[in-house]
Amino acid sequence: MATTTAVAKTFKLGGELEIHRLGYGAMRITGEGIWGPPADPENAKAVLRRAVELGVDFIDTADSYGPAVSEPLIGEALAPYSKGTIIATKGGLTRQGKNKWLPVGRPEYLTQQAEMSLRYLKKETIDLWQLHRIDPKVPVEESLGAAVKLKEQGKIRFIGLSEVSVAEIEQARKVTEIVSVQNEYNISNRKSEAVMEYCTKEGIAFIPWFPVASGKLAAPGGKLDEIAKKHDATVSQLSLAWLLHRSPVILPIPGTSSIAHLEENHKAQDVVLSEDEMAELEAAAK
């Protein structure tokens, strides 16, 4: 059986910051509905510390997770940060309750939130700041203009986007360098395929949120389950392995509030898929 070429374990963000491709998404260390504090804050901090112990050096969060819950927990658990630990955060979504999210892209609001992120994360510079959503009421040039000013002041190192189209990425790149795009994407949800392919071509990090497959494809007895069993892996691990094989720019950020689940996810990078298996999965996904 032909094997795929070796999968790169690392990626250089912005061509400069080398990170391991399998990161950690810190959305789930909040309360139900991504609202309020977690039931056990000490466990949330233990999960963060364990992630770093495992070698995870790319942690993704947002000011709206909680809101103002995920970022302070990261700051409390991990600052001062070990060398090479990169924290990505986002601004531009506001919260009105459990599972409620509304975009606000006014420059003064984004500036305020970035300053708060720095305080909560206990950092002098945000490694990667991403516009969480483009606000339809505010030209993206104005929203990104705020981030550019913060970058000039040394408060942001790199700028990225979230939930955007190829056209929106190209529009944003006229304002500033875009080093990452964070869209919903997994083997069973391919609505962002064109964006992922564009990022691959341009060398832009593609950070899939909701990286684990769901629905019929991931069901017991399905193709994912069948191939996972061959590798003594779970469907979640296989979903993450597929992403790592799919493109060298993909940086999956599975999130969890459980140390056991975190450790399980981390082992996904050791699953090596053959070209035949990748083809089988592609056929099943279609």
CA angle 181, 146, 150 (to 5 degrees): 90
Burial level of 6, CB count in 10 A (0-12/13-18/19+)?
A: exposed
Give me Rg for the CA atoms of the chain. Answer: 18
Contact 126, 87 (CB under 8 A): yes
Residues 5 and 62: their CA atoms lie apart, in Å, by 34
Burial level of 52, CB count in 10 A (0-12/13-18/19+)?
A: middle
Strand partners, 205: 180
Which of 24, 65, 81, 198 does the annotation list as catalytic? 65
81 belongs to the catalytic site: no
The residues assigned a catalytic role are 65
